[in-house]
Structure 1
Amino acid sequence: MGLDFSVVPEYAHFLWIGVVWTTVLTVSAALLAFFGGILFAMIVLYAPRLLAWPTRFFVWLFMGTPLLLQLYLIYFGLSQVGIDVPALVAGIVGLGLHFAVYNADVIRAGIVAVDPGQNEGARSLGLSRAQSFRYVIIPQAVRSVTPPLGNNLIALLKDSALVSVLGVAELVHASQLAISETYRPFEFYITAAALYYLLNLLLEAGLRAVERKVEATR
């Protein structure tokens, strides 16, 4: 029968809703992954062993298991012990924690690379240890690892498609709803792929702007 993209405009509202929820998922999970990554990195580097070792185990566990399995455990597994997590929240938490452990590894390397004299200089100016990390160490560490953090963000955007298995109406799930009414899988999956590519282009443009700004502040 061949491809017939004339059916796509009629269901454009499905795809638009999918783009909106994909954006919500990506932005929310990215914030959790960024700040969670900083927290995990700080705990692994500086917390007492009683707290550091369980965090290391958590990082190892999330790095060694598939994201899809983690989403299932958060959404379906927790409900079996009486904790009902909405699908959108489960998707954000699953994506956020999954990429937080990867960001933690990157940020940890960035913190270690900061000259120890920076901390000593901040302390000599009267800053507390927490203030030294907040205003001096962490900003420098994040600036030095901006490219790999950006790569993780791009991967997060693409992996947000996995949240469709939880019933969240992101782009893939929205495409499947349109396919269920039109029986035109190739047209809608190709359109979804093009929309993901467009979102990636926009994200990459934003990341390049951030990297240029970071370079200008060095």
Structure 2
Amino acid sequence: MDLGIILAYAPSLLAGLVYTLQLSLITALPALLLAALLAWIRLRGRQPLLQLLARGYTDLILGLPLLVLIYVLFFILPEYGLTLSSPLVGVTALTLYYGPYLAQVLRAAFAAIPPGQFEACSALGMSRWQSFRHVALAQALPVALPPATGLFIGLLKDSALLSVVSVEEFMYAAKQAISESYAPLEIYLAVALSYWLVTLAIDAAAAAWERRLTRHRIH
């Protein structure tokens, strides 16, 4: 064990970790928007075709490895005239893959709200936005937050697969460092410890947010 190797490559590893966090955060927004759309179609959509497409897409993604989706976007699409940059492939693949998983979480959280509460909101003269914000979202968010946090952590860790298409994230930086130093033990130990600390921080932040959301709940 040579800690000097870890210190020598710390700047490049840190740059890779920062890029991984940026990539994950950038992906989280379109994945959430896609999830919200899919959840809305499954819960409120009145078009049978949209329902069929949403269900089919969800079933396809749930049965598809992420690596296959990455390969399709990076290697197959150029055969049909559509070439995406490596970072765009990464964001697109993670969005398309995690959107349906997150949609399942949102759908379950909102479906658990009794319909009578919306009827009561209508009787009180509340608009749809007010009903959604003050009633639906206030109850669904604390329920959806723990599994959604787990999915975001999974997204963060699965971003390591993007190194196979030369996205310069954390694992790509680690592989570069190993190819130069021939010290896989030290580099991979630093990578594993970094992932562990980051996931602990995300989990702690989500737990604190959940406590804040539920501090006024009456049990």
TM-score (norm 1): 0.91
Structure 1 range deviating more: 89-98 or 120-129: 120-129
Is 2:113 the counterpart of 1:114? yes
Query: Which amino acid letter does the alignment assign opposite residue 206 of structure 2?
Result: L
Is the 8 Å Cα contact of residues 17 and 169 (structure 1) preserved in structure 2? no
Is 2:219 the counterpart of 1:206? no
Distance 2:58 2:173 in 1: 32
Is the 8 Å Cα contact of residues 146 and 211 (structure 1) preserved in structure 2? yes
Q: Quick one: structure 1 residues 15 and 86, their matched pair in 2 at CA, closer, same or farther if it must change by over 3 Å?
A: same
Query: Which amino acid letter does the alignment assign opposite residue 120 of structure 2?
Result: G
Query: Which amino acid letter does the alignment assign opposite residue 34 of structure 1?
Result: L
Distance 1:136 1:32 in 2: 25
Residue equivalent to 1:66: 65
Distance 1:35 1:166 in 2: 25
- Measured against aligned partners, the alpha-carbon deviations of 1:143-169 in whole angstroms (never above 9, x if no partner) come to 222211111112112111111112111
- What percent of counterpart residues are identical? 38
Distance 2:14 2:209 in 1: 27
Shift of 1:129: 4.4
Shift of 1:83: 1.6
Distance 2:6 2:128 in 1: 57
Distance 1:11 1:214 in 2: 41
Is 2:3 the counterpart of 1:42? no
Residue equivalent to 1:175: 174
Residue equivalent to 1:17: 15
Distance 1:96 1:52 in 2: 20
Map of 1:132-211 to 2, 5 A cutoff?
132-133=131-132, 136-211=135-210
Structure 1 range deviating more: 32-41 or 200-209: 32-41
Distance 2:48 2:209 in 1: 36
Q: Quick one: structure 1 residues 36 and 123, their matched pair in 2 at CA, closer, same or farther if it must change by over 3 Å?
A: same
1:192 aligned counterpart, secondary structure: helix
Distance 1:66 1:131 in 2: 39
Is the 8 Å Cα contact of residues 71 and 163 (structure 1) preserved in structure 2? yes
Q: Choose from 1, 23, 26 the match for 2:24.
A: 26
Query: Which amino acid letter does the alignment assign opposite residue 13 of structure 1?
Result: P
Shift of 1:96: 2.0
Query: Which amino acid letter does the alignment assign opposite residue 9 of structure 1?
Result: L
Shift of 1:135: 5.2
2:215 aligned counterpart, secondary structure: helix
Distance 1:127 1:71 in 2: 45
1:20 aligned counterpart, secondary structure: helix
Distance 1:76 1:39 in 2: 28
Shift of 1:114: 0.6
1:216 aligned counterpart, secondary structure: coil
TM-score (norm 2): 0.90
Q: CA RMSD in A?
A: 1.8
Aligned residues: 216
Distance 1:153 1:50 in 2: 30
Shift of 1:124: 3.1
- Structure 2 residue ranges without an equivalent (≥5): none
Map of 1:55-94 to 2, 5 A cutoff?
55-94=54-93
